[in-house]
């Protein structure tokens, strides 16, 4: 939950008015802080002001006013310009703490250090939040609520700068995590950057696949290729900036892939089936370690599928009735039956509520497939 009273103090200058920057502005404005937004694009900056993310620096200057000296500067720009903008902000605002919210940390810290900037007032951070849409029109003040926000101070960072970075994350409702910059980059390489690469590589195999073959695709293909629709320009910057940690993870993936290829080339050989089973079991073990929806250790839930008519309001009615029955959904997945006006809703619930919920839904006329 976003706190009712902010621990951060303004004025705050947000440099970069895209999804993340504008969302930071909206969240801080909601808490009553004075926020100013600046972007290389006049249009993007104007839109950010129009949605309430802060006052446009251009508009301020056009009115003959000066930007108040900020207490905090948040650099919310693409990775390839973050170092330049951070160094510039540290020089232009000698009293301010300067944070960046880019998705890589060690290269940015190295760049700011190499420029000779004041590292006592700089902290790298990374809010692990986003949407499938981009730009200020997609911004939401609650975007960071309950999402991880990693604070990665360098060894030179002062206590005040670290405190300001922590306060920003807490004020915006995020879950605070502290990491060394290099540890952060190794971590996101495995949990974020390599999944993007794997999804894109798999999806690239579909470019020349006949459409009547793709019509057979189930939810598995959709799940594993969903993030392949991400912005290529942004990912060029992210992967370039975090190349070595990504390469190390990809080398490990390649070892497993080479092992599987060698096994499948001779599937009748002694031990081949055992090796395939071991690879699948290793995947099971890794997947089981991903935390559950409330964090912490993952939990085992009972699942069932409800066949629903593909008509407006049907899924909403199903969810309403599950709520009326008094059962909390732990997870839900929607899949359309290819070529049929039917949707398949897979529901996950606590095991001790499974039987009662299935019985009650069936009594209400729902088609439950166990």
Same domain, 339 and 355: yes
* Domain shared by 358 and 261, yes or no: no
pLDDT value at residue 301: 83
Last residue of a domain, one of 179, 204, 233: 179
Residue 44 in domain: yes
One domain for residues 200 and 170? no
Q: What is the C-alpha to C-alpha distance for residues 284 and 261, in angstroms, rounded to an integer?
A: 19
Q: Tens digits of per-residue pLDDT, 11-24?
A: 999 999 999 999 99
For residue 203, the domain's CATH number is: 1.10.3660.10
In this predicted structure, the answer to whether residue 3 has a pLDDT above a threshold of 80 is no
* Residue owning tokens 């950010």: 48
Q: Which domain holds residue 201?
A: 186-266
Task: Please tell me whether residues 317 and 357 are part of one structural domain.
Answer: yes
Is residue 252 located within the same domain as residue 150? no
- Asked if pLDDT for residue 148 goes beyond 90, the answer is yes
Specify if 279 maps to a domain.
Answer: no
Mean pLDDT value across residues 254-280: 95
Helix, strand, coil proportions of the chain in percent (round to 5)?
A: 50, 15, 35
Domain harbouring 356, CATH code: 3.30.70.260
pLDDT at 1: 43
Per-residue pLDDT reduced to its tens digit, 66-120: 999 999 999 999 889 999 999 999 999 999 999 999 999 999 999 999 999 999 9
Is residue 309 predicted with pLDDT exceeding 90? Answer: no
Give the integer Cα–Cα distance in Å for 204 and 277.
27
Residue 253 shares a structural domain with residue 330: no
Query: Tens digit of pLDDT for each residue in 207-233?
Result: 999 999 998 888 888 889 988 988 898
Classify residue 2: in a domain, yes or no: no
More confident residue, 155 or 332: 155
Report the number of distinct structural domains present in the chain: 3
Residue 295 pLDDT grade (very low, low, confident, very high; cuts 50, 70, 90): low
Domain boundary among the residues 218, 248, 266 is at: 266
Judge whether 6 lies within some domain.
no
User: CATH number for the domain including 43?
Assistant: 3.40.50.720
Q: Are residues 118 and 242 in the same domain?
A: no
**CA distance readout (Å), 242 to 19, 71, 102, 103, 238:** 22, 30, 11, 9, 6
In terms of domains, do 170 and 40 share one?
yes
Q: Is the pLDDT of residue 357 over 50?
A: yes
Are 344 and 247 in the same domain?
no
- The answer as to whether 226 is a domain residue is yes
Residues 146 and 216 in one domain: no
**pLDDT one-digit tens code per residue, 30-70:** 999 999 999 999 999 999 999 999 999 999 999 999 999 99
Q: Are 145 and 2 contacting, i.e. CB atoms less than 8 angstroms apart?
A: yes
With a pLDDT cut of 70, the percent of the chain lying above it is 95
Q: Within this chain, do residues 174 and 190 fall inside the same structural domain, yes or no?
A: no
Residues 262-291: b if buried by 16+ CB within 10 A, e if exposed: ebeeeeeeeeeeebeeeeeeeeeeeeeeee
Query: What is the pTM assigned to this prediction?
Result: 0.80
């Amino acid at each position: 939950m976003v706190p009712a009273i902010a621990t951060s103090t303004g004025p705050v200058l947000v440099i970069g008015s895209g999804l993340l920057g504008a969302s930071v502005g909206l969240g801080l404005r909601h808490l009553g802080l004075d926020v100013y937004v600046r972007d290389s694009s006049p249009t993007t900056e104007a839109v950010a002001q129009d949605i309430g993310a802060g006052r446009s620096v251009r508009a301020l200057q056009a009115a003959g006013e000066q930007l108040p000296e900020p207490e905090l500067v948040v650099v919310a720009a693409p990775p390839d310009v973050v170092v330049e903008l951070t160094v510039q902000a540290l020089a232009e605002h000698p009293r301010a703490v300067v944070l960046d919210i880019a998705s890589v940390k060690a290269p940015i810290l190295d760049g700011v250090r190499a420029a000779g900037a004041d590292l006592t007032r700089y902290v790298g951070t990374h809010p692990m939040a986003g949407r499938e849409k981009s730009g200020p029109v997609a911004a939401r003040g609650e975007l960071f609520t309950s999402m991880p926000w990693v604070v990665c101070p360098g060894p030179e960072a002062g206590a005040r700068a670290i405190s300001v970075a922590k306060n920003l994350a807490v004020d915006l409702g995020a879950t605070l995590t502290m990491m060394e910059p290099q540890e952060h980059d190794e971590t996101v390489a495995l949990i974020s950057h390599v999944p993007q690469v794997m999804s894109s590589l798999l999806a690239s195999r579909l470019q020349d696949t006949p459409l009547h073959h793709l019509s057979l695709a189930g939810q598995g293909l959709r799940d594993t290729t969903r993030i392949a629709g991400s912005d290529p320009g942004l990912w060029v910057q992210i992967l370039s900036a975090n190349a070595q940690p990504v390469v190390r993870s990809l080398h490990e993936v390649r070892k497993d892939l080479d092992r599987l290829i060698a096994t499948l080339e001779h599937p009748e050989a002694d031990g081949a089936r055992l090796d395939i089973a071991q690879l699948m079991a290793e995947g099971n073990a890794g997947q089981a370690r991903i935390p559950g929806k409330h964090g912490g250790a993952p939990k085992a839930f009972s699942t069932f599928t409800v066949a629903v008519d593909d008509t407006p309001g049907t899924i909403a009615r199903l969810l309403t009735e599950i709520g009326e029955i008094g059962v909390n959904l732990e997870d839900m997945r929607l899949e359309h039956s290819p070529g049929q006006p039917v949707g398949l809703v897979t529901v996950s619930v606590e095991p001790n509520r499974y039987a009662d919920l299935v019985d009650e839904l069936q009594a209400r006329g729902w088609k439950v497939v166990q």
